[in-house]
Amino acid sequence: MKIKKHIPNIITLLNLFCGAIATIFAVHGNFVVASLFVFLGIFFDFFDGLAARKLKVQSPLGIQLDSLADLVTSGLVPGIIMFKLISLTVDAPSFSSYSNEWNSIFHWQDFKLSILPLIGLLIPLASAYRLAKFNLDEDQQAYFKGLPVPANTLLILSLPLILEYQNSDYMNAIIINKWFLIVLTIISCYLLNSRIKLFALKFSDWSFKKNAIRYIFLIISLVILIVLKFAAIPLIILLYILLSLSNQKQI
């Protein structure tokens, strides 16, 4: 039995392991540590495919395993975080009166469940659908159809990190707004499964002529990341989409 054929799958399982740990921290409201493990999981997600190509051990099993790991790390975790963020914006009604509002709360024993934050769990559903389509689509080699799941995850994770580190009352007021969070959830679910062609960050060579859009994207992203820190992430995602839309014929 050749050990090298198992190396990419081991890396993929490390992605899943990080996602499982991130889930635990996200459930307990520790978004910073959850984000750290998601970033680590995305790192492994990048290198499992790279390892499979370099070792020439790509397999159908690896493709399916990769999507299963991504569903946890880049699907479930951002869904839980969005659920928690929306929960922060919901004023719990009194249990002594019945409410027909969307934010009414059901409770069993000591367990309380607010309905409105469940909208955040549309993210893992949309991510699962997107990953399943990706596995069946042979066209998505040089480009993506719809926003990649890890990119959407970075968008969602940026919200609690902005709250934690940016120290901006203006940005905090925007993020801790239930309608902003709900609209962002719906938009992210749409982008995940849209038919918009988005360029992949894969370099066939290092020439500027063939990779101009990639170099431009990386340079601008680096600059705004240095200037705006975590607040740059939503802008980088927007830049990614706009550059892709402007170069549809070349993608």
pLDDT at 36 over 80: yes
- Would you tell me how many other CB atoms lie within 10 Å of the CB of residue 4? 11
pLDDT at 20 over 60: yes
Tokens of 135: 């596995």
pLDDT, tens digit (0-9, with 9 covering 90-100), for 65-95: 999 999 999 999 999 999 999 999 985 444 3
Q: What is the pLDDT of residue 63?
A: 86
Q: How far apart are the C-alpha atoms of 228 and 233, rounded to whole Å? A: 9
pLDDT, tens digit (0-9, with 9 covering 90-100), for 168-226: 999 999 999 999 999 999 999 999 999 999 998 876 667 777 788 899 999 999 999 99
User: Residue 108 in 3-state DSSP?
Assistant: strand
Residue 197: half-sphere exposure toward Cβ, Cα within 13 Å: 12
pLDDT, tens digit (0-9, with 9 covering 90-100), for 99-154: 455 556 665 666 667 789 999 999 999 999 999 998 887 776 678 899 999 999 99
Q: How far is CA 219 from its chain centroid?
A: 22
Tokens of 144: 């993506």
pLDDT at 232 over 50: yes
